[in-house]
Structure 1
């Protein structure tokens, strides 16, 4: 097995890993009931629907 000739700096490994540690914006889809943007597989906060049925009563506007 190969052995490194010189010690690698901590910065090199951290720099290599840094590309995969970035934050990404959540993906959004339109609610089938009210067309508000929601995260996939989540309850709609606007109308209270999930998978085409009302789960929570919607807040009065």
Structure 2
């Protein structure tokens, strides 16, 4: 029970990711869900990086196999 209280009552550790991604992660970790970005806001913040990342995984050498 003490651990649960600590999780709820204390701050989480600082996000050590630089730049926009770090800010986004920090926002996503807010205790109050109302303060967290929606999935649409997360997608917009990430911009096209999700699609570019998927393209790299699908076509690691820049070509289709």
Structures share fold, TM-score greater than 0.5 = no
More helix by share: 2
The alignment's TM-score, normalised by the length of structure 2, stands at 0.23
More strand by share: 1
The alignment's TM-score, normalised by the length of structure 1, stands at 0.24
